Each structure stands twice: as structure tokens, then as C-alpha cells.
């Protein structure tokens, strides 16, 4: 039986396993013109994650966070990123992880969480997939102060932002985190579907 898979993994080598496994992978790819080419890539074999955006329809606000990210600093940003609450799965159910991260980072629990998308943030160098959820919240859902886990080095500022301001920050470059931009765009569609009088300009 002929093997129709154009990709064959020849060798995997773990270069580092400090936090996530950094692997050097050698493989062959059968190109569209029929030729076969050998390639070598380095890939972080990190776990998947969950991200969640909560919206308050009465106040027209969203719950976001601000925290330092070293990768963004090294890329030329100041490193303090506005994001939705998120965390690695660590073998947990994605929905349960989303709820846990909400409480840890913002002090709120969400209502009516529903999954809207799952995506690869950087499939060329990460194995990670991100499970994204939307939900609602109100003051009755406040269970603590949030801020993250100090023992894990987290220093998270909780932001309750007007939803129109959040949309403006996406457009103006104030919010540049991919999962946050994606979830705000999904929320915008939800708001538009309820009628243009309720949507941002």
C-alpha cells in the first residue's frame, strides 16, 4: 500500500527541557512537483492553552489583564501586554482551565462560557493550540482580587475596560496580543448580531 503522507519524520532531538521541550526535528517533505527535500526545524513542544474573554452587557465592559512578557520586550515592545486571562492546560480540561485562570487572574468567575475557536498561534515553531471562550460577568461573580500567583512570578493588573475602548485599542495598536484580538473580534460580531445600535463604531 502506497504511503500518501508527504511528510516523514526522520529524527527528533531534545535540545532543552527547561520549561517546555525544545526539539530539533529532521524530516523529509514530498513537494507538489514530486521532488523530496530534507528539512531541519526547531520546535517548542509546549502544551495547549485556554483563553477567555468576559463581557458585561449592562455596563458594556470587558475584563482584561496587563502583565509583562519578555518575548514582547525583546521584539521592541515595552513588554506590558493587555491580554485576556489565559493559561496552559497542564492536562486539564480546556473549559475548566479557562474558569480557573479567570479566578486566579481577575478574581471573577464567568457565566455561560462557550468555546468560539481553537487555533495554532505559531504552527511553524510551536505545537501549542489555544482554546478560546466567551462569557459574561457581573458584580455578583466577583470572588476575589485576582492578580495571579506570586509564587509563579505573576504580577497581573486587572483591567475593566469599556468595550468600545477595547475595540479602539485593537484598531490603534494598543492591544496586540493575538488571542485577545481574536476574542475581541468574536465579541464584536456577537454585539453586532444583537443590533447595530449596540455595536461600536
* pLDDT, position 200: 47
Number of domains in the chain: 2
94 and 18 assigned to the same domain: no
Read off the pLDDT of residues 69-122 as tens digits, 9 standing for 90 and up: 999 999 999 999 999 999 989 888 999 999 988 988 999 989 999 999 999 999
| Percent residues over pLDDT 90 in the chain | 72
128 vs 13: CA distance, rounded Å: 18
Question: What is the CATH classification number for the domain harbouring 55?
Answer: 3.90.79.10
34 and 71 assigned to the same domain: no
Average pLDDT, the chain: 90
| 12, 23 contact by CB (below 8 A) | yes
Which residues, in sequence order, are CB contacts of 118 under 8 Å at separation 6+?
129, 130, 131, 132
Distances (CA, A) of 3 to 19, 27, 37, 170: 36, 15, 16, 45
β strands within 75-110, DSSP E: 80-83, 86-88
Residue with cell 520586550: 73
Q: Is the pLDDT of residue 13 over 90?
A: yes
176 and 130 assigned to the same domain: yes
Query: If we measure between CA atoms, which residue out of 148, 47, 162, 159 comes closest to residue 103?
Result: 148
The three-class DSSP label of residue 96 is helix
62 and 13 assigned to the same domain: no
Where in the sequence is the domain holding 24, given as residue range(s)?
7-45
30 and 88 assigned to the same domain: no
| 84, 98 contact by CB (below 8 A) | no
136 and 82 assigned to the same domain: yes
Lowest mean pLDDT among 11-25, 41-55, 64-78, 87-101: 87-101
33 and 87 assigned to the same domain: no
Residue with cell 530539533: 24
95 and 167 assigned to the same domain: yes
93 and 28 assigned to the same domain: no
Amino acid at each position: 500500500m502506497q504511503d500518501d503522507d508527504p511528510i516523514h519524520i526522520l529524527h527528533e532531538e531534545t535540545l532543552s527541557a527547561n520549561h517546555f521541550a525544545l526539539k530539533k526535528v529532521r524530516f523529509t517533505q514530498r513537494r507538489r512537483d514530486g521532488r523530496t527535500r530534507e528539512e531541519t526545524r526547531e520546535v517548542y513542544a509546549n502544551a495547549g492553552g485556554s483563553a477567555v474573554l468576559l463581557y458585561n452587557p449592562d455596563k458594556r465592559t470587558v475584563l482584561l489583564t496587563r502583565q509583562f512578557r519578555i518575548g514582547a520586550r525583546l521584539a521592541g515592545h515595552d513588554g506590558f501586554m493587555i491580554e485576556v486571562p489565559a493559561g496552559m492546560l497542564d492536562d486539564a480540561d480546556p473549559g475548566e482551565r479557562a474558569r480557573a485562570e479567570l479566578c486566579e487572574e481577575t478574581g471573577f468567575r464567568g457565566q455561560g462560557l462557550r468555546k468560539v475557536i481553537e487555533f495554532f498561534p505559531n504552527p511553524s515553531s510551536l505545537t501549542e493550540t489555544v482554546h478560546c471562550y466567551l462569557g459574561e460577568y457581573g458584580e455578583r461573580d466577583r470572588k476575589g482580587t485576582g492578580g495571579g500567583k506570586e509564587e509563579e512570578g505573576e504580577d497581573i493588573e486587572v483591567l475593566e475596560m469599556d468595550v468600545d475602548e477595547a475595540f479602539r485599542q485593537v484598531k490603534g495598536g494598543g492591544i496586540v496580543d493575538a488571542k485577545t484580538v481574536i476574542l475581541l473580534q468574536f465579541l464584536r460580531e456577537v454585539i453586532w448580531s444583537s443590533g447595530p445600535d449596540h455595536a461600536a463604531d
